[in-house]
Structure 1
Amino acid sequence: MTARPTWAGRNYLLLTGATAIANIGSSGAHIATAFAVLGAGGSATDVGLVATARTTPLVLFLLIGGALADRLPRHRVMVAANTLSCVSQGLFALLVLAGEPQLWQMALLAALGGTGQAFFAPASEGMVLASVSGEQAGRAFAVFRMGMNGANIGGAALGGALVAAVGPGWVLAVDSAAFALAAALRAFLDVSGVAARTPGGGMLHDLRDGWREVASRTWLWAVVVQFAIVNALIVAAEAVYGPLVAEEHLGGARPWGLALAAFGAGTVGGALLMTRIKPRRILLTGALCVFPLALPSAALAVPLPAAGLAVVMFGTGIAIEIFAVTWMMALHQEIPEEKFSRVSSYDWFGSLIGVPVATALAGPVQDLIGRTTALWGCSALIALLTGAVLCVGDVRRLVRRDPATNGPPLPSDPPATPSSDAPCAPPTTHPT
């Protein structure tokens, strides 16, 4: 039996295990929620309304959640947020199993789940960043995200099968139980080595302090602004235009589902790759890997056959996961530990703020200029924004430093070779 890697400490293992368990449940619950609404006689618009009910409090409370997680013990915030999600999903399950749930009831419970996620996400990211140290931090982040992404893929497949076999109510009940188990694991996190935090001058003071951390680093706010637009364009292309292209040109939902599965498999492959390599210029490497995000929109604009689209999505999944790991490495290296969660909340906020606007405008834009032109526009904007970020000197110059001294940059690494601290198998993937 291979000894546990030195970078896989107790907190790291608990966080990774809890995230995998919760993400398996949540991935299936996203499918179950949609079918619960449809099963109650709802329309596609009603499905969108319930999704919006979850997203709105997630955006509204993210910054508050980040400030709170830097004032209180992060593991307590995570456990409380998981408990709220457990209760909301449990009530949702009971509502569906009892029969004839009302739209407003489902929207309210979805909003409670979104509120829990808003407080959980910044605390979780801060806890993950604080759970690893040393030169192997990049590998630890890669394995964590590999487990998170693997759980998302498996959870979606299992959830879809269970919805068909036993109905959405039981899948929602499984999600509630998964949140309960994840909360229990996170309650055992060891925070004895974390220095007690002294509250500052109030919540607004903490929010301003977090913003100063973001605004003082050109590389940080440049990437956050980039992804505020890039994420919106990707969601508009893949959530609105993608299913329409699949229905009209690719043969329906099945090939589209396979393309999305290929993307998920690519993210696992990207995380696995990042366990073996340690780029010296971490942000330059990550930023270059954002260019491939322009390819799915272009593939849909052509449109490529289903097999070609799947290949593009697989490559895009690898690229975005390399970016995600290098981004975590940059935050871990450059942001003071006591401010991780506030910075993370601004990162999350920027990533989500444009999504509702983009999905609302996708239809009217298609009517105005045509779907093909809109897709080519998404692709071109993603490439232009990425090129603009690469013009930022701090993005090109940020390098991996010696973690022991936070001193000079580490030299470029030799080709990766197997080592005793390499995981013998990938564990089972943004945390829930």
Structure 2
Amino acid sequence: MTTPAAPPHSPRRLRRPAWAGRNYTLLTAAAVVTNLGTHGALIAAAFAVLETGGDGGDVGLVTAARTLPLVLFLLIGGAVADRLPRHRVMVAANALNCVSQGLFAVLVLTGDALLWQMMLLSALGGTGQAFFNPAAEGMLMSSVSGEQVSRAFALFRMAMNGAGIGGAALGGAMIAAVGPGWVLAIDAAAFAVAGALRAFLDVGHIAKRAPGGGLLKDLREGWTEFASRPWLWSIVAQFAVVVAVVGAAESVYGPLVAQEQLGGARPWGLALAAFGVGTLGGAVLMMRWKPRRMLLVGTLCVFPLALPSAALAVPLPVGGLAAVMFLSGVTLEVFGVAWMTALHQEIPEEKLSRVSAYDWFGSTAMLPVSTALAGPAESLFGRQTALWGCAGLIVLVTALVLLVPDVRNLTRRTKEIAARPAAPVSADTEGPVGRLG
């Protein structure tokens, strides 16, 4: 009697969990592609200005040209994203970024780039980002549901931050090897690929918006939703200050301290890399940890963001600065995931993009002002005093936010999160599931 031959071994097909549905997977893949390109392109744009004979002031003008329309058009972008299908807004914004970065690359590669041209193209890129950000955040939050939403947001942020770290490192190496023009060209291609991925998003689960009302009515409705929630506007007001002073400390004072007292650009790069690694660690932590009082935990985790400014004021040796930056990266990511989870739980789906726009606007509006005033503040008070002031402001506004009862008492409501509709789940998933791009 012969034994029948065993069937050939077929490896088990890899299956993604239910919370990583089709929309979520496409959004994460597209975010990785764009972050790989964009973080290198930001460095490339600065070196492109310098290669044309520009100085630090010219680099600042090109940066400001991108930031200003980003702030100006965010609220309109949020209203548009809640009125039109969000994936179409995202694809159109990606197309604008692709064209602007492509033209920027051509100008740099041909050696014909003028300062006003680079400023104009940067402004177009900032405009695209203003429409993209609220649509993307609303789309991401509507793509997940169930008890594992925090894990989904943490994994998304981990993938995005990891791609940003890799993109900056790869971009720096490529600028040295082939010049900034090719890095800008790669960024344009990345926007094209990401836009193509986002074109396949399924918005069938999102209820169609009722026609009429007008843009101003949409903006008023978004403001009413925003202003009616003390935990929301108070934390956004807090981060208007936090983002402003952290931006001034890390983009203006940090490189100066490193150059004069720590040994140059290399130790500052190490400290920034430690911060990036910390964000990855924080995302890993939040994939497992689900704090019940999520805003209380998140707000407490903002206090360590004062430590880098204090470390620069001392200044600490490179090892100590890197450790402080790592810790602040971890705690910032804990806040980011807790914040996204709170928005997902509390804000109606049809208003997510408008509320997100007010969040983005409030959090970034003071950044251009703070970076512009960093130099005069150093001249008036001294760099060390200015840095201690940055640290003190972060501690002060964070302590004030803790006085808001809703911040202390808002709790995770698992049943409501689980009941929220999300994108349809693909057949090859295993089961159901359970904010800072």
Q: Deviations over 1:235-290 (max 9, x none)?
A: 01111110110011100001001100110110011001100111100100100000
* Rounded Cα–Cα distance in structure 2 between residues aligned with 1:325 and 1:219: 16
Residues 15-34 of structure 1 aligned to structure 2 (within 5 Å): 15-34=27-46
- CA 1:100–1:405: 2 relative to 1, 3 Å: closer
The answer on 1:128 being equivalent to 2:109 is no
**Does the CA-based 8 Å contact 2:24-2:143 persist in structure 1?**
yes
Q: Deviations over 1:151-178 (max 9, x none)?
A: 0000000000000000000000000000
Question: Number of residues paired by the alignment?
Answer: 414
What secondary structure is seen at the aligned counterpart in 2 of 1:91? helix
* Rounded Cα–Cα distance in structure 1 between residues aligned with 2:178 and 2:86: 37
Q: State which structure, 1 or 2, has the greater radius of gyration over its C-alpha atoms.
A: 2
TM superposition shift of 1:100? 3.2
The answer on 1:390 being equivalent to 2:405 is no
TM superposition shift of 1:403? 3.1
* Rounded Cα–Cα distance in structure 2 between residues aligned with 1:187 and 1:225: 34
The answer on 1:243 being equivalent to 2:270 is no
The answer on 1:222 being equivalent to 2:215 is no
Decide which of 65, 70, 91 is 2:103's aligned counterpart.
Answer: 91
**Does the CA-based 8 Å contact 1:89-1:173 persist in structure 2?**
yes
Residues 397-412 of structure 1 aligned to structure 2 (within 5 Å): 397-404=409-416
* Rounded Cα–Cα distance in structure 2 between residues aligned with 1:194 and 1:228: 31
TM superposition shift of 1:397? 0.3
Decide which of 43, 56, 59 is 1:44's aligned counterpart.
Answer: 56
**Does the CA-based 8 Å contact 1:88-1:112 persist in structure 2?**
yes
TM superposition shift of 1:197? 1.1
The answer on 1:59 being equivalent to 2:46 is no
Aligned residue number for residue 9 of structure 1 = 21
RMSD: 1.5
* Rounded Cα–Cα distance in structure 2 between residues aligned with 1:211 and 1:378: 29
Q: Deviations over 1:379-409 (max 9, x none)?
A: 01100110110111000000000235779xx
What secondary structure is seen at the aligned counterpart in 2 of 1:196? coil
- Aligned partner of 1:198: which letter? A
Residues 365-380 of structure 1 aligned to structure 2 (within 5 Å): 365-380=377-392
What secondary structure is seen at the aligned counterpart in 2 of 1:341? helix
What secondary structure is seen at the aligned counterpart in 1 of 2:415? coil
TM superposition shift of 1:193? 1.7
- CA 1:127–1:134: 2 relative to 1, 3 Å: same
Decide which of 281, 292, 299 is 1:269's aligned counterpart.
Answer: 281
Decide which of 93, 112, 115 is 1:100's aligned counterpart.
Answer: 112
The answer on 1:332 being equivalent to 2:344 is yes
Aligned residue number for residue 205 of structure 1 = 217
What secondary structure is seen at the aligned counterpart in 2 of 1:70? helix
| Unmatched segments (≥5 aa) in structure 1 | 408-419, 424-428
**Does the CA-based 8 Å contact 1:200-1:206 persist in structure 2?**
no
Decide which of 143, 148, 154 is 1:142's aligned counterpart.
Answer: 154
* Rounded Cα–Cα distance in structure 1 between residues aligned with 2:207 and 2:196: 23
What secondary structure is seen at the aligned counterpart in 2 of 1:293? helix
* Rounded Cα–Cα distance in structure 2 between residues aligned with 1:158 and 1:422: 37
What secondary structure is seen at the aligned counterpart in 1 of 2:210? coil
**Does the CA-based 8 Å contact 1:133-1:403 persist in structure 2?**
no
**TM-score scaled by structure 2?**
0.93
| Unmatched segments (≥5 aa) in structure 2 | 1-11, 420-429
Residues 287-366 of structure 1 aligned to structure 2 (within 5 Å): 287-366=299-378
- Aligned partner of 2:205: which letter? G
- Aligned partner of 2:176: which letter? A
Aligned residue number for residue 424 of structure 2 = none
**Does the CA-based 8 Å contact 2:40-2:167 persist in structure 1?**
yes
Q: Deviations over 1:333-357 (max 9, x none)?
A: 0000000000000000011100011
Aligned residue number for residue 256 of structure 1 = 268
**Does the CA-based 8 Å contact 2:345-2:416 persist in structure 1?**
no
- Aligned partner of 2:68: which letter? T
- CA 1:421–1:163: 2 relative to 1, 3 Å: farther
Q: Which runs of 4+ in 1 moved over 2 A?
A: 402-407, 420-423
The answer on 1:114 being equivalent to 2:126 is yes
Q: Deviations over 1:46-80 (max 9, x none)?
A: 00000000001000000000000000000000000
The answer on 1:156 being equivalent to 2:147 is no
* Rounded Cα–Cα distance in structure 1 between residues aligned with 2:119 and 2:218: 31
- Aligned partner of 2:89: which letter? V
Decide which of 174, 177, 200 is 2:186's aligned counterpart.
Answer: 174
* Rounded Cα–Cα distance in structure 2 between residues aligned with 1:152 and 1:48: 21
TM superposition shift of 1:199? 3.2
**TM-score scaled by structure 1?**
0.94
TM superposition shift of 1:3? 2.8
What secondary structure is seen at the aligned counterpart in 1 of 2:54? coil
**Does the CA-based 8 Å contact 2:147-2:417 persist in structure 1?**
no
Aligned residue number for residue 410 of structure 1 = none
TM superposition shift of 1:103? 0.2
**Does the CA-based 8 Å contact 1:97-1:169 persist in structure 2?**
yes
- Aligned partner of 1:268: which letter? L
- CA 1:405–1:277: 2 relative to 1, 3 Å: closer
- Aligned partner of 1:276: which letter? R
TM superposition shift of 1:194? 1.5
What secondary structure is seen at the aligned counterpart in 1 of 2:18? coil
- CA 1:62–1:156: 2 relative to 1, 3 Å: same
**Does the CA-based 8 Å contact 2:279-2:332 persist in structure 1?**
yes
Percent of pairs identical after alignment? 70
